[in-house]
Amino acid sequence: NPITMADTSTPATADDQKRTGGIAWAGSLVGSKNPDNLGYRYSTPSKRYRRSHNDDQDGGRELPQNIQIQFRNRKGEELAETIDIPTDSSLDDLTTLVHSLLEEASDETNNKVPYSFYAKVAKNGVEDDVEVVTSLKDMLLNETTISTESVLNLVYQPLAVFRVRPVSRCTDTLPGHTEAVLHVQYAPDGKMLASGGGDTTVRFWDVNTATPKHTCKAHKNHVLCTSWSPDAARFVSADKNGVLVVWDPKKGTPIGKNLRAHRQWVTSLSWEPMHRHAACERLATASKDTTCKIWNVRTQSLLVTLSGHTDSVEAVKWGGEELLYTASRDRTIKVWNADRGILV
């Protein structure tokens, strides 16, 4: 006959159910030392919550403590045998290991070379490289398609190290200017250096011997900006009075007369590119008087005056497509047609 059993235990209260989170069957009643509970046990929800919470923190993936890896270089050649290393090995740990396997530990220079590491991952049928940024563990948690049950192939490659040597000594000193040097510029061929200063002089220097070649006096105020022509045949300087002087750098003498280029000081100079005109005759000047002007230095004539800025024009640049660019303190940059003298 079937056996009928009645529950004579005290039912769980609402507080007990809230505390325990539910009831689960614990096994057989046979041999139970506490038959009042009829073989049931309580489950604790807080433990279940902690377990799932930790799983979320680890990306929901259980990782072994160690993993087998095989180092390969960029050509696919193996480095040593398969190695069993901790899963949480950092990038520095991997670099140190590679150095030791390459027997570079005693070489101070090579030992400082950092390495990057990449694992092969198949995504949508395409093999891709995944870099180990911080540690193996982080990479494995992010890339769930990588199996931890097989050997992981890591490709190592050295990173470029750029070492800038500090300037430890001065090669040459070029004395001569009696006031502040305000502008210097090398010749396009690199054989000469020209400078302008607050002593109103322009000086040409021989770069190879670090000696002065010419001291030129034609300005009456600070020489603020200078510029070589693209063919190095001419040199121009401009001062705080707005005067422009064209020089013969070989002789150190002015070419023609001084030009009263602007009402206020000249802020910038720019030659027409040589590929646009091989004679290198056109020059653009910018000034605090809000204008930019284009000159023919051979004929010493004014070709175009560009007016449009409302404040000092601080820079002028001649582009390679017959366009001229001016930048002003009025917070605008204007683009001009150099031949027609109009805004583009």
Instruction: Give the tens place of pLDDT for each residue, 300-343.
Output: 999 999 999 999 999 999 998 889 999 999 999 999 999 888 99
pLDDT of residue 59: 52
- pLDDT grade for 27, boundaries at 50, 70 and 90: very low
Average pLDDT, the chain: 82
Residue of 107 and 47 predicted with greater confidence:
107
Confidence of residue 40 (pLDDT cuts 50, 70, 90): very low
User: In the predicted model, is pLDDT for residue 254 greater than 50?
Assistant: yes
Both tokens of residue 291? 């204008």
| Block residue for tokens 């001229």 | 324
Residue 170 has pLDDT above 90, yes or no: no
Across 30-44, 176-190, 257-271, least confident range:
30-44
**Helix or strand or coil: residue 277?**
coil
Greater pLDDT, 29 or 218: 218
- Between 38 and 113, residue with greater pLDDT: 113
Distance CA(343)–CA(150), nearest Å, equals 68
CB distance 91 to 117 below 8 Å:
yes
**Quick check: 289 pLDDT over 60?**
yes
Under 8 Å between Cβ of 121 and 145: yes
The DSSP letter of residue 14 is H
pLDDT of residue 159: 84
Q: Would the pLDDT of 103 be above 60?
A: yes
Q: Which has the higher per-residue pLDDT, 171 or 61?
A: 171
Query: How far apart are the C-alpha atoms of 227 and 151, rounded to whole Å?
Result: 65
pLDDT at site 255: 93
Ramachandran region, residue 120 (left: φ > 0; alpha: ψ -120 to 50; beta: rest): beta
Instruction: Supply the pLDDT for residue 149.
Output: 85
285 secondary structure, DSSP code: E
Query: What is the C-alpha to C-alpha distance for residues 247 and 253, in angstroms, rounded to an integer?
Result: 6
Closest CA to 205 of 215, 197, 213: 213
Q: What is the pLDDT of residue 45?
A: 41
Residues 6+ apart with CB under 8 A from 160: none
| pLDDT score of 197 more than 70 | yes
User: CA 219 from chain center: how many Å?
Assistant: 43
Confidence of residue 24 (pLDDT cuts 50, 70, 90): very low
Q: Which of the two residues, 25 and 230, has the higher pLDDT score?
A: 230
Which has the minimum average pLDDT: 21-25, 109-113, 162-166, 224-228? 21-25
Q: What is the pLDDT of residue 185?
A: 94
152-158/66-72 β-pairing: parallel
